[in-house]
Amino acid sequence: MKVSKIEHIGIAVENLETAIPYYEKLLGTGCYAIEEVKDQKVKTAFFKVGETKIELLEATDPEGPIGKFIEKKGQGIHHIAFAVENVNEALSSVEANGIQLIDKTARKGAEGLNIGFLHPKSTFGVLTELCSE
Ligand code: ZN
């Protein structure tokens, strides 16, 4: 497996409406996409920073993964996403190295990317996402 770049950093926020203007000012660039990912019970907002993106995540349901994360840990960095050529191949190779997976096979994430998560128990506490186009 080879990672080509940090695709994005996911940040859990309570409220996109207040977080978006902050990031627009901080980064000096507008939010270029807002998208709801229904099966993740989340609304996302994206910013470009060079080749990397910032993905803000607001829960649409307190029982969803982001809702539970914020309840437990508060707002903050939620995950880091690495770009790979093929998520399914990358997931198998990671698993073969004894790393615990959340997703055994790729599913669809925001922006139509194929994504899969590694379990933070196996990744030094960092929820890690692999993604490919
Ligand atoms: Zn992500």
- Spatial distance between the Cα atoms of 123 and 133, rounded to a whole number of angstroms: 23
Distance 19 CA to ligand 1 centre (A): 17
Average pLDDT value over all residues in the chain: 96
Q: Domain-by-domain residue ranges, the chain?
A: 3-132
Q: What span, in angstroms and rounded, lies between the C-alpha atoms of 102 and 117?
A: 5
State in Å: Cα 7 to ligand 1 middle: 8
Cα 126 to Cα 6: distance, rounded to the nearest angstrom: 14
Q: Which CATH superfamily is domain 3-132 in?
A: 2,3-Dihydroxybiphenyl 1,2-Dioxygenase, domain 1 (3.10.180.10)
Q: What is the pLDDT of residues 34-79, one digit of tens each?
A: 999 998 899 999 999 999 999 999 999 999 999 999 999 999 999 9
Is the pTM of the predicted complex or chain greater than 0.75? yes
What does the pLDDT read at residue 55?
97
